[in-house]
Structure 1
Amino acid sequence: MKKVLFIVGSLRKGSFNHQLAELAEKALEGKAKVSYLDYSAVPIFNQDLEAPVLPAVASVREVTEAADAIWIFSPVYNFAIPGPVKNLLDWISRAKDLSDPSGPSAINEKLVTVSSVANGGQDNLFGSYRNLLPFIRTTVVEPFVQTRVNDSAWGDGKLVLEANKLAELQAQAEALLAAIG
């Protein structure tokens, strides 16, 4: 079965992007095995920490390498990629063999798609991902899906998507599965 790794860009429990990931997981049900990457222990990138490879970094690299595709669920922080996600991508995009900086990385040639729940800034966010992902040698899978936080969620914490957004999420799931082949 195809393996899709979910990276949720908000580390907050019950985050709206985590709830979006759960809806995407339902869209992949029976078609792919989904796992969520825990990258909370990955330190801020620092070349001084690259060798020997830290256990937290080795773990996220191993899980990334085992995936057929990656689906990022990203909030917008100041109209940009959240720092924790960018830091993770910095770590997993580094060459496995430090003597060859242009050599393969854990994320090298992976299929990657992005979705976002936010109330603005997603055009900038998606533009940043569209620039970064090919640079770190991944294959971008479109469409990207954006949605906003429903008004009631600010009170009850529950993300609710309209039918058209659920359909877009389903289409994104199908595009990712087709790209995997």
Structure 2
Amino acid sequence: MSIKVAMLVGSLRKDSFNRRLARAVEKLAPGELAFEHVEIGGLPLYDQDFDGNYPTSCQQLKQQIEAADALLFVTPEYNRSVPGVLKNAIDIASRPWGTNSFAGKPGAVIGASIGATGSALAQQHLRNVLAYLDVPLLGQPEVFVQFKDDGPVDPNGEITVESTRKFLQGFVDRYVQWVHTILKR
């Protein structure tokens, strides 16, 4: 059974640390997980005025989320919170009222930053939003990765620090268990 995972990375930067982290997690995952990277950079800003007639790009985002079995959010921390581009995508996919595309899908939140707290505050804000949107979230292990110029993940998503590899593998293994548990309900 293939499990389709919608992966939303909250950074648009070409060499984003969070995009590197997403690639690393994807490489550690078993073949039963099929990751689909959800592009969020070209979306218009959410506006309730288009709830009755969603723009095509917003309809496509909702369809992509709805087609997924599970969710993985990979977020940087901007000014102690979630990047606007990620929050905008979440607002679009959860609206209009009564058409929340995320509801009931098992999910997890991870992130990276150059700061010592590795996106902890952004993740907490994101968890609050996703709890409201009825996304059952994996609670442990929490993944706060601090990036430096030399790693722990290179631009190709190769993990360069063995302790990081072991930790991320533990996360991936637990995430797979979580997804199976929620999908069996």
Report the counterpart of residue 98 of structure 1 in structure 2. none
CA distance in 1, matches of 2:155, 2:63: 33
The answer (yes or no) to whether the contact 2:106–2:179 under 8 Å persists in 1 is yes
Please give the alpha-carbon distance, in whole angstroms, between the structure 1 residues aligned to 2:71 and 2:156. Answer: 25
- Cα distance in 2 for partners of 1:157, 1:53 equals 35
Q: SS at 2:149's partner residue?
A: coil
Question: What amino acid is the match of 2:6?
Answer: L
TM-score normalised to the size of structure 2? 0.85
Matching residue of 1:24: 25
1:143-177: CA deviations, max 9, x gaps?
23111112336xx9677552222222212222221
Q: Once the 2 structures are TM-superposed, how far is the Cα of residue 27 of structure 1 from its aligned partner?
A: 1.1
Pair 1:128-2:125 in alignment: yes
Matched, 1:119 2:114: yes
Superposed, which structure 2 residues align to 1:12-51 within 5 Å?
Answer: 12-51=13-52
Aligned CA RMSD, in angstroms, stands at 1.9
The CA distance in 1 between the partners of 2:155 and 2:5, in whole Å, is 26
Counterpart amino acid of residue 140 in structure 1: L
Aligned-residue identity in percent: 27
Matched-pair contact (CA < 8 Å) for 1:118–1:148: yes
Structure 2 unpaired stretches of 5+: 181-185
Say which SS state the counterpart of residue 95 (structure 2) adopts: coil
Partner in structure 1 of residue 176 of structure 2: 177
Map 1:1-181 to 2 at 5 A: 1-95=2-96, 101=97, 103-120=98-115, 121=117, 122-142=119-139, 143-152=141-150, 161-181=160-180
Question: What residue ranges of structure 1 are gaps of 5+ in the alignment?
Answer: 96-100
Q: Aligned in 2, Cα 1:161/1:83: closer, same or farther, shift over 3 Å? A: farther
2:20–2:155 Cα contact (<8 Å) kept: no
CA contact (8 A) 1:150 1:161 kept: no
- Runs of 4+ off more than 6 Å: 156-159
CA distance in 2, matches of 1:20, 1:161: 12
Name the TM-score, length of structure 1 as normaliser: 0.87
Question: What is the alpha-carbon distance in structure 1 between the residues aligned to residue 142 and residue 57 of structure 2?
Answer: 29
Query: 1:29-82: per-residue Cα shift (whole Å, max 9, x none)?
Result: 413111100122211111012221110011111110111111111111001001
Q: Which amino acid aligns with 1:34?
A: F
Letter in 2 for 1:131: N
Please give the alpha-carbon distance, in whole angstroms, between the structure 2 residues aligned to 1:59 and 1:128.
26
Contact 1:152–1:158 under 8 Å retained in 2: no
